[in-house]
Structure 1
């Protein structure tokens, strides 16, 4: 049991496990023609964001995007399952329900990864404020302003 907790404590294994599990469930859920294209769209975005999270090992933006898509996908999955239920293809329906059940757990694992990478989940990360942030504007470098109004001293150049 300690091996599993040690393995789950590793940051890259968590994201890879979430990616693998959701990839398998989404691939099996897509084995029907009854799902709307929105189902394919947000699930592809979720898998891409997970791949981005694996690629950028220190980025909090990648994990933040994956967590938000995963959380929104819970509602979207419910809408798709309720609205587009078609009893002939039980295989795809079963895997989409299993995928829906796994989404809160994967959101918790991704949130844990997000906090370990140094991110904080506040309302400012989702809805930016109008406050001026401190940053260096590289497009407009600051130049010293001359204090005298006499103009440039051409004689000092030579």
Structure 2
């Protein structure tokens, strides 16, 4: 059991494992006739973001996008399975339900990878806070005035 923990502790193995497992279950779930394209669309985006996270080994954004798509896919999978349950064959439904069951595990593994790469969920970056932030006037940058020189004409007052 410690070998499995060491294997999942490796930073790049987690992303590859999640990508492979979901690729296997998604490709088998797509063997049915979904008919609406939404299931294929968001799972295609998820697989592309997983390949991006595998390719860019230090990118926080790649894992973050895969994490957001994977977490939102839980809801999308539920809706797709409920709406199209009667139109699907048993093979596709079975693999899509197994894929749905594995999504929270993959969200946890991707969140762990997100933290390993240095990402953090800060609510201040998304939601406004009550803290006053300092304002920097970029139109008139402050420059240190030399102490030994005489003051010259104020050029900024012309504008």
TM-score range, shorter chain: 0.7 to 0.9
Judge conservation of contact 2:42–2:73 (CA < 8 Å) in 1: yes
User: Greater shift after overlay, 102-111 or 82-91?
Assistant: 82-91
CA distance in 1, matches of 2:88, 2:154: 87
**1:103 matched residue in structure 2:** 103
**1:84 matched residue in structure 2:** 84
Relative to structure 1, is the Cα distance of residues 145 and 32 closer, same or farther in structure 2, using a 3 angstrom cutoff? same
Judge conservation of contact 1:53–1:62 (CA < 8 Å) in 2: yes
- SS of the aligned residue for 2:44 comes to helix
- SS of the aligned residue for 2:109 comes to helix
Relative to structure 1, is the Cα distance of residues 150 and 19 closer, same or farther in structure 2, using a 3 angstrom cutoff? closer
Aligned positions of 1:1-158 closer than 5 A: 1-86=1-86, 89-125=89-125, 127=126, 129=128, 148-149=152-153
Backbone CA RMSD of aligned residues: 2.8
Write out the 4+ residue segments of structure 1 that deviate beyond 3 Å after TM superposition. 128-134, 142-147
Judge conservation of contact 1:29–1:93 (CA < 8 Å) in 2: yes
**1:156 matched residue in structure 2:** none
Runs of 5+ unmatched residues, structure 2: 146-150
Report the Cα offset of residue 132 of structure 1: 6.8
TM-score by length of 2: 0.79
Report the Cα offset of residue 122 of structure 1: 2.5
TM-score by length of 1: 0.80
